[in-house]
């Protein structure tokens, strides 16, 4: 099952798409922590919302309405979502991501943990947050594309409901770049909950683009790594042309590390011709 993915990584024809689950392996707070912080700052009693679906997107939108901007929340997240360098240096998951050497890495994380990991492992990269940064791309240098924004630029951050809805047009400079990058390459999604609407929409749009091209059979295989088996999700994702990968006999907290270790060894083996 991994042969095509291994070959794509080895020939630099694969893109990594990394979500919050990657940084959570080294202690990044969960979205529930963010909800609790917003509720505390705005004096909201979360018990009033039991039995209703209060998600962080809607809550962040309310925060922006009440506070006038997302700036103070961004500052709090920046302080609390930055992992110490010594912890990142010990992270096997981050080490393996650097070692696999994807030419392009997209992430919906706002934090700098991936960039810091690249610095710690002595790897050059270009960070792309907006259209201006696209002009800085250098041949042979990995790109870290901050798909939902970066803590260094408040205006780039996609965190509130309006931000997400506006991105559903799929016409921002980074969306156009993703379409161009992804059409001819294999994509590996890791660290995501497949309930993320924006990511699901992105996967669906990519599937529809290939379907409308008349060359759907020529589409490179793409993959989603999931921590737990979910036959419903698997059926839908496979309909969209994504192969689901799992480490079935492994605790969820160790599954991503085990998968990346196995993938890295397979790529090395191929490169050595063994």
| Residues catalogued as catalytic | 148
Closest CA to 189 of 118, 252, 259: 259
Distance CA 215, CA 115 (A): 36
In this structure, how many other beta carbons lie within 10 angstroms of the beta carbon of residue 143?
Answer: 21
Distance CA 39, CA 72 (A): 14
Compute CA 199 distance to the chain's CA centroid, rounded to the nearest angstrom.
9
Strands 242-245 and 126-128 turn out to be unpaired
Kindly write down the DSSP assignment for every residue of 59-109, as one continuous string: HHHHHHHHHSSSHHHHHHHHHHSPPPHHHHHH-HHHHHHHHHT-SEEEE--
Tokens of 185: 């390459």
Strands 186-190 and 222-225 turn out to be parallel
Tokens of 42: 């705005």
Cβ atoms of 108 and 198 closer than 8 Å? yes
Residue linked to tokens 């042309």: 241
Distance CA 43, CA 40 (A): 5
Strand arrangement of the beta sheet that strand 14-18 belongs to: 126-128, 143-146, 104-107, 14-18, 186-190, 222-225, 242-245
Cβ atoms of 262 and 250 closer than 8 Å? no
Cβ atoms of 60 and 159 closer than 8 Å? yes
């Amino acid at each position: 099952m991994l042969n095509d993915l291994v070959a794509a990584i080895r020939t630099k024809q694969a893109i990594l798409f990394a979500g919050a689950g990657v940084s959570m392996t080294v202690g990044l707070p969960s979205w529930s922590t963010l909800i609790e912080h917003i509720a505390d700052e705005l004096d909201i009693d979360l018990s009033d919302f039991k039995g209703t679906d209060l998600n962080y997107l809607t809550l962040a939108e309310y925060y922006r309405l009440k506070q006038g901007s997302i700036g103070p929340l961004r500052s709090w997240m920046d302080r609390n979502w930055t992992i110490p360098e010594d912890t990142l240096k010990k992270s096997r998951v981050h080490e393996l991501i650097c070692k696999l050497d994807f030419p392009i890495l997209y992430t919906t994380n706002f934090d700098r943990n991936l960039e810091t990991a690249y610095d710690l492992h002595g790897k050059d990269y270009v960070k792309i947050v907006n259209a201006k940064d696209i002009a800085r791309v250098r041949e042979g240098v990995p790109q870290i594309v901050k798909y939902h924004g970066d803590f260094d630029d408040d205006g780039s951050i996609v965190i509130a409901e309006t931000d997400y809805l506006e991105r559903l047009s799929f016409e921002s400079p980074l969306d156009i770049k993703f379409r161009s990058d992804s059409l001819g390459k294999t994509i590996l999604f890791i660290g995501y909950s497949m309930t993320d609407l924006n990511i699901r929409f992105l996967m669906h749009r990519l599937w529809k683009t290939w379907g409308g091209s008349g060359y759907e059979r020529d589409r490179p295989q793409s993959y989603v790594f999931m921590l737990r088996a979910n036959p419903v999700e698997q059926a839908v994702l496979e309909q969209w042309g994504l192969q689901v990968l799992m480490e079935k006999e492994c605790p969820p907290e160790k599954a991503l590390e085990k998968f990346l270790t196995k993938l890295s060894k397979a790529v090395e083996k191929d490169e050595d011709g063994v």
